[in-house]
Structures are given as C-alpha cells and as structure tokens.
C-alpha cells in the first residue's frame, strides 16, 4: 500500500532531520505570513505582489526540503545550502509547473470530478521531478505521468490521505486555543511549518520510490542534481 509505506519512510527521514526541515519551513512559512500581515490591508497591485511573493517563498521552501529529502533517500548527508541553490535555479519552471497543476486540478474538479482526480494523481510528483531532475515544464508533467502510471489510484489515495490528516491537524489550534488571539496565530503558523515540512518529505518519497523501481537504478545512482 503506497500510503502506509510512503508515510513510514517519510516519517523516518523527517525524524532524523526534524530540526533542519522545521527551521527551513518555519522561515518560509513565517516570512509569507509576515508579508501578508503587513500588506493584507493593501489593495490592487501591492496586494497581488504580496500574494506572488508568498507563493514563491513557500514554493522555494518546499523545493529545498524535497531536494534535501531526496538526497537523504540516497543515503547521502544533507547539503542545505546546495539544496537551496538548486531550488533557486529551478524555481522558474517549478513555479510554472505549480501554477499549471493547480489551475488544471481545480478546473478539472470544478467541471467533472474524474479529470481533477486524474490530474492530482498523474501530476503528483511533477514539482519534485522538476526540482530534482531540472526538467522543463512539459517534461516535468510527462515525467510525473510516467512515474505514477499503473499506480494512479494508489497515488491519489496517498495524496488525499495525507491532505486530510494535515487539514485535521490544522484545526487543532483553533479548537484548543480559540480563534483570533496571538497565541492561536503563533501556534497555527508553527503547526503549518511542521506539516508543510513533512508534506515536502512525503512528496520527495512519493517521487523517489517509483523512480527507483521503474528506472531500475540503485538509490545512490538515480539523482544527478548534485553532480
């Protein structure tokens, strides 16, 4: 079962490097929230620019952890600075992949449930493929479709399963601390950072495992991103 195996492997990697991943994601989650807090009252172009910056920062944090986690899955030590450099270098195509994926998924779900579900499953690892393999936009979608072929429903179940768990966890601060107070806001940002970091590791594992199986390569040989 993809969900159980991927969660277990992801949790093992996450625990081993919890402080590093949490610190990276906390920065990339806290900074966007700070930007939104200061620019939320603004309207028009300034507000649009703020949202764009938020998306880019969160994507960069996600990519940095994905690349680092993939490196760990190859039994190699983390080079966080190198992971960030690689992520910055592939940020533009990854941004395009992320936007296209989101639009297509939402449109597919709005028009008909099946196309949206297909897009979620088929393109589940498009951004990780883009980050690790430095593929272009079209190639990233093709690569993801290839890696998820034959396991689309299981991949969809894994994505939905982790999303439901994350959504449920994010409701906890509001239930325990109440809404609208500073403690709740801080707790929500901290929890978002922790969950986002794990989701990035989960995505890296979801990408790594089928690639190792389908490409028939040892874990130490399947990434050239640091070479």
Tens of pLDDT, residue by residue over 123-179, are 999 999 999 998 999 999 999 999 999 888 899 888 889 988 888 887 876 666 666
> What are the tens digits of pLDDT across the range 38-87?
665 555 666 677 778 888 988 999 999 999 999 999 888 878 888 998 89
Write the pLDDT tens digit of every residue in 73-88.
988 887 888 899 889 9
Please, which residues have CB within 8 angstroms of residue 143's CB and are 6 or more apart in sequence? 125, 126, 129, 133, 135
Q: Which of 200, 32, 209 is nearest to 131 (CA)?
A: 200
Q: Where are the domains of the chain?
A: 2-215
Considering the entire predicted model, what is its pTM? 0.86
């Amino acid at each position: 079962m993809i969900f159980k195996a991927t969660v277990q492997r992801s949790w093992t990697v996450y625990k081993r490097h919890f402080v590093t991943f949490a610190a990276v994601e906390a920065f990339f989650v806290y900074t966007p929230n700070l930007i939104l807090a200061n620019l939320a009252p603004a309207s028009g172009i300034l507000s649009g620019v703020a949202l764009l910056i938020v998306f880019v920062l969160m994507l960069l944090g996600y990519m940095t952890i994905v690349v680092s986690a993939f490196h760990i899955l190859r039994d190699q030590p983390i080079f966080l600075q190198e992971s960030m450099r690689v992520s910055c270098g592939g940020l533009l195509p990854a941004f395009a992949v992320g936007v296209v994926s989101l639009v297509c998924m939402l449109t597919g779900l709005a028009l008909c449930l099946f196309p949206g579900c297909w897009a979620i499953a088929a393109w589940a690892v498009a951004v990780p493929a883009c980050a690790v393999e430095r593929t272009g936009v079209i190639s990233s979608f093709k690569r993801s479709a290839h890696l998820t072929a034959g396991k689309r429903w299981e991949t969809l179940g894994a994505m939905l399963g982790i999303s439901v768990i994350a959504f449920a966890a994010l409701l906890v601060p509001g239930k325990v601390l109440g809404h609208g107070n500073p403690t709740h806001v801080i707790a929500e940002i901290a929890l978002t950072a922790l969950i986002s970091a794990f989701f990035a590791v989960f995505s890296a594992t979801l990408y790594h495992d089928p690639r190792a199986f389908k490409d028939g390569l040892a874990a130490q040989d399947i990434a050239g991103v640091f070479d």
